[in-house]
A and B are shown apart, each in its own frame.
Chain A
Amino acid sequence: MNMSNIVRTGAVLLFPFILVYGFYIVLHGHLTPGGGFQGGAVIATGFVLLFVAHSYESITKRLPMNYFKNSETLGLLLFIITALIALTLGVTFFGNWLVNSGGLFGDVVAYGPNPGNLNTAGIIPIMNLAVGIEVLGAMSIILLYMLSGIKEDI
């Protein structure tokens, strides 16, 4: 059972803007309010909008359930591998091994509040990105499993 044409077109038109806003919240997690969990929840809201507007068969034809399972696994692996690399470099588990290194996310912040330089804070943006990917997969898969139980001939 599909929803009406207006609902389906509106969901497809609204989807990219929700995606951009969610990734903005994830990537600015160390500077502004929000972070991995909140941004992931916003991205999952965009996917859920698509799921509610379409039927289960037409969704899983374009976006198989394996995509979301894989994104969940990828986020968790990125999180724990980033934490384990710190052990091999001689700092503690979850030690911030990228901060002030000069490279990726390694700029030195002057004393006082950060005026908005995104390229700071070491491994914290990487952790935010991992949590965002993981929450996006987990919350989408909850609704996809729920949608799979509906008998479509009602």
Chain B
Amino acid sequence: MIEVLIQLLILVGLIITALLVYKFQDLLSAAIAFGIFSFLLSLEFFILQAPDVAIAEAGIGAGLTTAIFIVAIRGTQRNEEAE
């Protein structure tokens, strides 16, 4: 029962962070929200008993991808242009 509750909480968090990535105009905030999305996804993999995939997701998704986005934002501009 407690596992179902934790899983439900993580899935709701995944949907919320995915919507935040779409909604933020500040690109640095969007990159951080994507990092939180990857971290929650690795927790979900761990609950589904795939710790190998969870470690790879936490290292590459939450660490390297966020760092690459931050470097790209450093090279360009921080805010999304208004349409």
Contacts and interface: CB of A to CB of B under 8 A. Distances in A.
A106 interface: no
A interface: dominant SS: helix
Given A49-B67, A143-B67, A42 B74 contact: no
B interface: dominant SS: helix
A33 B51 CA distance: 6
Contact of A150 (B63, B67, B71): B71
Contacts of A139: 64
B6 interface: no
B19 interface: no
A49 B67 CA distance: 7
A97 to B, nearest CB: 26
B71 A45 contact: no
Contact of B63 (A33, A41, A149): A41
26 contacts: A1-B74, A33-B51, A33-B52, A34-B52, A38-B56, A38-B59, A41-B55, A41-B56, A41-B64, A42-B55, A42-B59, A44-B63, A44-B64, A45-B59, A45-B67, A48-B64, A49-B63, A52-B71, A143-B64, A143-B67, A143-B68, A146-B71, A146-B72, A150-B74, A150-B75, A154-B75
- Nearest first, the 10 closest Cβ-Cβ pairs linking A and B are A41-B59, A45-B63, A33-B51, A150-B75, A38-B55, A48-B67, A42-B59, A33-B52, A38-B56, A52-B67
Interface of A: 1, 25, 33-35, 37-38, 41-42, 44-45, 48-49, 51-52, 139, 142-143, 146-147, 149-151, 154
